[in-house]
Amino acid sequence: MANPNQDARSGNGQYVRTPETAARDAQAAELRAQGRTLQQIADELGYGDKSNALQAVRRALREIVQGPAEKLLAIHMERLETLYEAATEVLEADHVVVSHGQIVRDDNGQPLKDHGPTLAAIREARQTLDSFWTLTGMKKPAKVEHSGGVKYEIVGVSPDDLT
């Protein structure tokens, strides 16, 4: 059987995803869910061999998961943006020290500034950004450096025999 996707190529000769190939992959996944073997799927849908049928099933599964995963990612990104905005509002606000329900004032009668809420807002903003970097994959793994020597021990050989 001729390759039904022969015309689905880009200018550089690579296959491109078309609605027809997506539907065919979805059909392969449906047949697999019905208990068909990969070889049966390949024969029925015209894939060259069972490995191509397996690739089609995997593409279909990836697309099934990708749509909801992208929606979930967008929801979490929006939540993080909301948290960051709230932390920024606290950061930009003026805070005064209050004790026993009264504003504490300095010797000149000016309210004492309370830096606690500002520092807490900075921590929250930083944590929100860290969560954003982790969620989007922008966070790079920490590099670990090791210095020191390595000692080799040969079991069953006397050091005197090596000289």
Position 68 in a domain: yes
Q: Is the pLDDT of residue 117 over 70?
A: yes
Quick check: is 153 in a domain?
no
DSSP assignments along 74-118, one per residue: HHHHHHHHHHHHHHHHHHHS--B-EETTEE-B-TTSPBPB--HHH
| Residue 143 maps to a domain | no
Distance CA 123, CA 103 (A): 25
In a domain, 9, yes or no: no
Residue 17 makes CB contacts below 8 A (sequence gap 6+) with none
Q: Which domain holds residue 126?
A: 19-136
Tally the domains of the chain.
Answer: 1
Asked whether residue 122 is domain-assigned, the answer is yes
Inside any domain, residue 64: yes
Answer whether 0.85 is exceeded by the pTM: no
On whether residue 14 sits in a domain, the answer given is no
| 105 contact partners, CB below 8 Å, separation of at least 6 | 111, 112
Specify if 31 maps to a domain: yes
Of the pLDDT bands very low, low, confident and very high (cuts 50, 70, 90), residue 1 is very low
